[in-house]
Structure 1
């Protein structure tokens, strides 16, 4: 496991969107795919930061709100 200063964007919703939705195959709480969720603990800080940077846009494009846990994690 990789020690990191970047915390998980998990908001506790943990529901994967159905294939007929704009966020198909991604969690409606944090916007990550199952693969991204599964690999999170092994990502280094650069990879985590890169993923964190795309999650708000992914959620917004699907018409979903960006959870506070994610907003706080990406705040400058």
Structure 2
């Protein structure tokens, strides 16, 4: 039996902040960097969980809302 992978935190917004913003290179919908988005498929659950734990704070610090899909994914 295989352990299920942590699902993507993608909220469907999929908009990368411009280089002229403090959130440059990050998606304003999920908070991931371009590298994290590109690597997501190949990451193991530990690496995904580590990234997931940082996303709400990243989004809040940048002034963006934390999407429900992300809140539900990291809820205890």
TM-score by length of 1: 0.92
Q: Which runs of 4+ in 1 moved over 4 A?
A: none
What do you get for the CA RMSD once the two structures are aligned?
1.1
- The whole-number CA distance in structure 1 between the counterparts of 2:4 and 2:39 is 13
Residue 5 of structure 1 deviates from its aligned partner by: 3.1
Unaligned runs of at least 5 residues, structure 2: none
Looking at CA atoms only, which structure, 1 or 2, has the larger radius of gyration? 2
TM-score by length of 2: 0.92
Superposed counterparts of 1:35-50, under 5 Å? 35-50=35-50
Unaligned runs of at least 5 residues, structure 1: none
Task: State the aligned residue count.
Answer: 74
